[in-house]
Amino acid sequence: MWLTKIELKNFRRFRDFQAQFSPGINVVKGPLNEMGKSTLLEGIVVALFHNPRSTAKEVKDYVAWGSARQYRTSIEFEDEGKRYLLEKDFEKGTVRLIGDAREELDTFKQIAEEMAERLGTRSDRLFLCSCCIRQSQVTEVSSGKKEISESLEEVVTGGRESTLASQVLQKLDGKIADSKKGLDKLAKNPGILAGLKNRLQDASRKYNEVKDEVSRVEAQKIELVAVNKQLAQAKEGYEKCRALLEKNKQRKVIEAAIERLTKDYGGVEELLSSIKKHEEDFRKADEALGLSEGFGDKQQVSEFRRKLDDIQRRRRDIEKDLAERKEELAGAREKSDRRRLVGSLGSGKGITAATAILTGGIIGTLIGPLYLLSLVVVGAASLAITIWAKIALIGDKTAISGVEQRIQRMKESLNELDREEQELLTKARCSTVAEFDDREKHFHHWLEKKEGAKYRLEGILSRKTVQDIEGQKSDITRKLAVEEKKLTDDLIDTRLGPQEYVESEREVQKLEAVRSELEDGRRDGMAMIKAAKHDAEGQVRLEEELENLKEALSHEERKVRVYELARELISMARVEVLSSADEALEGEIQRYFAVFTNGKYQRVRVNKEDLEFSVYSGEKGDWAKPEELSGGVVDEFYLAFRLALVRLIFGDKRPPLILDDPFVNFDSVRLANTLSFLKTLATDYQIIIFTLSDSYDEVADNIVLLNKDERPL
């Protein structure tokens, strides 16, 4: 079953509200508290379960604020492929359920049975303890303990028994409780046992009173004389001792005030002295900074330092490159010297000689014998060697010239850096960088002194002025004089030492207790004497009444014991039958709990009879109650427990699961595991998550924004 739409009219904070839902995970959110999330959640429960004709107070509590008219709810849902519309009018007390084929039911009894068939329960309390999980009530399952226990019993027995064992036990418990009512605590209408015991106690008390009354009255009259005398003495001593203590308390208060004011006066004096010292430090630092010519402020000095450091860095880079270029020039010149032969071949004379040989060889070959062809070969080879030598010589000269020009530019750059550095030093009124370094240290030293004195003064004064503190000193002096005037001679003369004061306090307490006890004794004695009215005949009647009451009480106690034995036997049989429910519930809880805790906790024990749980903690090496673990683990356990209940109790029914942000105590890893699990669970169940945050948007199949479409009051 999954909800598709809900409408609330005149319901709590909603005048007219609509929301659409889809299968899977629905996230209902608002940016702030009190946007209507709780109202919508309650509206869903009311729309599914409440009777419009009910006169219960909680039904009327859902009426819109300031309105005299009752509310209306309308909810649409789908189940097994069919669509349904459930409308409730709490003003008219009407209800109707319309199906796909326009079948219509209009009585609450019929509709409740039909909805129980769809949801798996007709109990809103069971629904709230399992399918509806509120963050503030994650661990709250005791309110539905009875419904949960009976539902699990029906799961085990198949719901075939006309009367469940739990119902028989309930009737026996009722009879036993009725009989024992008032035994453990006071009751307006006590049971027969308590009534008989009370009557027996009253009769016994009356009998003892009658038996002792005559002798006690005479003894009390004699005792009252002595009590009155002791009471007068105790009152006199109490008043004297109490007056002495009051004077000493007053003196202590005054002396404490004087001590506190004296301490405050010393503190103000120390504060003023500290202020003067820091003012003097500030003045000295300011004078020292004023004498630093060329150093205007911290920003200017920092800019000088940055530029000087930049010049030094560039100079180092150029000097390094210059050394490399000088080595390169020396190597080029050494190489050129080694090529002297090449240089001679590449001269003009070498080229002329090679050309002449080549020309002569060509002419000789044309007009003379062929052996002159060798001159052509020699001449061509000589000319090629000569041209190559010429080119190599030119390349060496070009390389040497390029390096020499680059070295010259580097020297010019160094000169330019020297000029820039000198200009900066001149602006800073310094001759050398070393002098600048010294003056910079001096500047920062006094600047730090000045700023430190300033901050300390601001910290001491806060938003006050010296005049304010001087005024405070005068005020303390005035108050001190007032307190010293209160310390009179009488207060000083009655001074008690610490031990004497403690002893006086004890004496006052002792006298007060004695006085109170004597007054109570006198009052009780006089009341007893005045109230005495019984005689021996009344004592005999009370003895007969006591015997009759004892016999009646014994008879009733035997009957209650029979009930208890019957209950014990039935309960033992029921526990054996229900042990399988415990095992099934444990298995479901363990499966979910292991997912939610990232596998840290995997063993769970359940006592379904009283919903007592325990978890095996590897860290403790023992079983522990969920409440003994961290807050996040508690929430994770009870979330697993509720989902396990849904699986076991509702079986093949698929009621919607409503989660009112129960994950606030989950860490990020466990929350991610839980959301992944819910995404899988959403293939079987419709899940509605109420939240303030955007944490669940990425797993949502549908998002309902409460601040967008609703029209709240």
Q: Angle, to 10 degrees, between the axis of helix 373-427 and the axis of helix 433-461?
A: 40
Average pLDDT, integer, range 12-31? 89
Taking only the tens place, the pLDDT of each residue in 543-562 is: 788 888 878 878 777 777 77
Residues 308 and 306: their CA atoms lie apart, in Å, by: 6
Q: What angle do CA 478, 480, 481 make, to 5 degrees?
A: 65
If you ran DSSP here, which 8-state letter would residue 132 be given?
Answer: E
Whether 358 shows a pLDDT value over 90: the answer reads: no
What does DSSP say about strands 622-624 and 612-617: parallel, antiparallel, or unpaired?
Answer: antiparallel
What lies within 8 Å, CB to CB, of 227 at 6+ separation is: 518, 521, 522, 525
Whether 160 shows a pLDDT value over 50: the answer reads: no
Three-state DSSP state, 612: strand
Task: Determine which of 528-537, 603-612, 622-631 has the lowest per-residue pLDDT on average.
Answer: 528-537
So what's the pLDDT on residue 710? 47
CB 7 within 8 A of CB 73: yes
Whether 134 shows a pLDDT value over 50: the answer reads: yes
Residues 578 and 245: their CA atoms lie apart, in Å, by: 70
Average pLDDT, integer, range 388-414? 79
CB 130 within 8 A of CB 642: yes
The strand pairing partners of 3, in sequence order, are: 77
Residue given tokens 């990020």 in the structure block: 668
So what's the pLDDT on residue 78? 93
So what's the pLDDT on residue 159? 46
If you ran DSSP here, which 8-state letter would residue 63 be given?
Answer: B
Q: Which two tokens stand for residue 78?
A: 């789908």
Taking only the tens place, the pLDDT of each residue in 224-269 is: 777 788 778 777 788 888 888 887 888 888 888 888 989 988 888 8
So what's the pLDDT on residue 350? 61
| Selection from 40-49, 63-72, 186-195, 663-672 with the highest mean pLDDT | 40-49
CB 119 within 8 A of CB 48: yes
Contacts 24+ apart (CB under 8 A), 207-215: 207/539, 207/542, 207/543, 207/546, 209/534, 210/534, 210/535, 210/538, 210/539, 210/542, 211/539, 213/528, 213/532, 213/534, 214/532
Whether 26 shows a pLDDT value over 90: the answer reads: yes
| Residue 574: band (very low, low, confident or very high) from pLDDT cuts 50, 70, 90 | low
Residues 275 and 394: their CA atoms lie apart, in Å, by: 82
Task: Determine which of 342-356, 498-512, 567-581, 613-627 has the lowest per-residue pLDDT on average.
Answer: 567-581
Whether 711 shows a pLDDT value over 50: the answer reads: no
The percentage of the chain sitting over the pLDDT mark of 90, rounded to a whole number, equals: 10
Question: Average pLDDT, whole number, for the chain?
Answer: 79
Predicted structure pTM score? 0.45
Is the pLDDT higher at 294 or at 310?
310
Taking only the tens place, the pLDDT of each residue in 665-694 is: 888 888 888 899 999 999 999 999 998 888
CB 245 within 8 A of CB 509: no
Average pLDDT, integer, range 594-609? 80
Average pLDDT, integer, range 657-665? 86
CB 148 within 8 A of CB 126: yes
The CA distances from residue 124 to 48, 130, 132, 275, 642, in Å, are 8, 10, 10, 72, 15
So what's the pLDDT on residue 150? 59
Residues 514 and 508: their CA atoms lie apart, in Å, by: 10
So what's the pLDDT on residue 713? 43
Task: Determine which of 215-219, 431-435, 476-480, 543-547 has the lowest per-residue pLDDT on average.
Answer: 215-219
Residues 72 and 87: their CA atoms lie apart, in Å, by: 8
CA atoms within 13 A on the CB side of 218: 3
Three-state DSSP state, 611: coil
So what's the pLDDT on residue 345? 54
Residues 194 and 216: their CA atoms lie apart, in Å, by: 31
Ordered by where they begin, the domains of the chain are 1-120+653-713 (3.40.50.300), 298-427 (1.10.287)
The CA distances from residue 47 to 2, 36, 107, 202, in Å, are 14, 16, 15, 55
Distance between first and last Cα of the chain: 31
So what's the pLDDT on residue 19? 92
Task: Determine which of 93-97, 186-190, 442-446 has the lowest per-residue pLDDT on average.
Answer: 186-190
What lies within 8 Å, CB to CB, of 544 at 6+ separation is: none
So what's the pLDDT on residue 167? 58
Q: Which amino acid is at 216?
A: R
Residues 712 and 531: their CA atoms lie apart, in Å, by: 69
Q: How far is CA 695 from the centre of its chain?
A: 16
If you ran DSSP here, which 8-state letter would residue 655 be given?
Answer: P
Task: Determine which of 153-162, 352-361, 402-411, 693-702 has the lowest per-residue pLDDT on average.
Answer: 153-162
If you ran DSSP here, which 8-state letter would residue 71 be given?
Answer: P
Residues 685 and 647: their CA atoms lie apart, in Å, by: 11
